[in-house]
Chains A and B, each alone.
Chain A
């Protein structure tokens, strides 16, 4: 049971978002710009993978499965692939550039000061742009917010992971901005 009376039975972040729509709007607008906006040289799948990885490091079940489902949808891979990235990105066949960006994201998850100049340099050597480095840091920081919002209020999450995979295509089609929280 959630720590406060949300007045609805919605899972995960949708519960507190429906409870306080005023703050839900910019929260969703930020997700849309960072994760789904096509004016970005990182693919939607790559950006969702960053969100999934950070949510996994924060041990947020709801977020890592919502965004893992979306990453799986965009990348056309399966759940074991997503789980392998969460366990050890370096051992998976993702691009070398994305590996360096996930390393930066993991440092951001621990704390901003953990990001080392060598990690930034490694990302640049793999072709990462300033904007990609910026977005990686902000996506990772944003998930440190979303994960805390979801778990800090003790929201509930469906335990069947296929639930999230099945919902991913509709979220991918509708996006994060202005979607119906009750559907």
Chain B
């Protein structure tokens, strides 16, 4: 049971963003810019950053949601699992490994980011903008993970829920659905039909 009354058909973050739409709007906008906006990092790479941070914050809802989105965008399920286990041995570019390391440090705290971690990213070809966005994506998921778990929102256990959510994140990104979410009330808590 969530600590505050939220719509039963909107588990995890969605119920919170609907609970207070005026604070939800800039959070959605920031996420859309960072994860889907113009960038030299692919959407799949940016979803991996979000997943690593959510996994290390032990936020089950966000980890499952962004794992699903990354799987769809990367068109495989091995990469995200490998990245969650061990960044260094995961089948991703050396540059992305250094950025994932920076994200992992941001998850601990801002001050944990070392000059060495930044130098390694630059030597692997990361641009200032890529480093900036990595830090801000990681910081943003430190917000999301705390928001979702700090209010004890519902975490669905059915894997089909996250597959549907992953599809929604691919198709619509992080914008609020134009029609809202009332149509989900009759769908028995799955988002498959979106």
Contact = CB atoms under 8 A, between A and B. Distances in A.
A binds B: yes
Interface of A: 3-5, 16, 19-20, 22-23, 25-27, 29-30, 33-34, 37, 58-60, 104, 107-108, 111-113, 115, 117, 120, 130-131, 133-135, 137-138, 140-142, 144-154
A22 B37 contact: yes
Interface string B134-152: 0110111011111111111
A121 to B, nearest CB: 9
Contact of A26 (B29, B128, B150): B29
B146 A137 contact: yes
Contacts of A140: 146, 150
A115 to B, nearest CB: 5
B132 A20 contact: yes
Interface string B100-124: 0010011001110101001000000
29 contacts: A3-B113, A3-B131, A4-B131, A16-B136, A20-B129, A23-B34, A26-B30, A30-B26, A30-B30, A58-B110, A59-B111, A112-B149, A115-B150, A134-B4, A135-B20, A135-B23, A137-B146, A140-B150, A141-B146, A144-B143, A144-B146, A146-B139, A150-B110, A151-B110, A152-B110, A153-B113, A153-B132, A153-B135, A154-B113
Contacts, number: 149
Contacts of A34: 23
A-B residue pairs, 6 tightest by C-beta: A112-B149, A151-B110, A148-B139, A141-B146, A4-B128, A26-B26
Interface of B: 3-5, 16, 19-20, 22-23, 25-27, 29-30, 33-34, 37, 57-59, 102, 105-106, 109-111, 113, 115, 118, 128-129, 131-133, 135-136, 138-140, 142-152
A134 B21 CA distance: 12
A111 B149 contact: yes
B67 to A, nearest CB: 18
A6 to B, nearest CB: 8
Nearest to A4: B128
A30 B58 CA distance: 25
B154 to A, nearest CB: 14
Contacts of B110: 58, 60, 147-153
Nearest to A130: B4
A114 B8 CA distance: 23
Contact of B146 (A5, A108, A120): A108
A141 B30 contact: no
B135 A152 contact: yes
A12 B166 CA distance: 35
Given A3-B131, A131-B20, A148-B142, 6 more contacts: A3-B113, A4-B131, A26-B26, A134-B4, A134-B151, A151-B110
A23 B136 contact: yes
Contacts of A37: 22
A117 B29 CA distance: 31
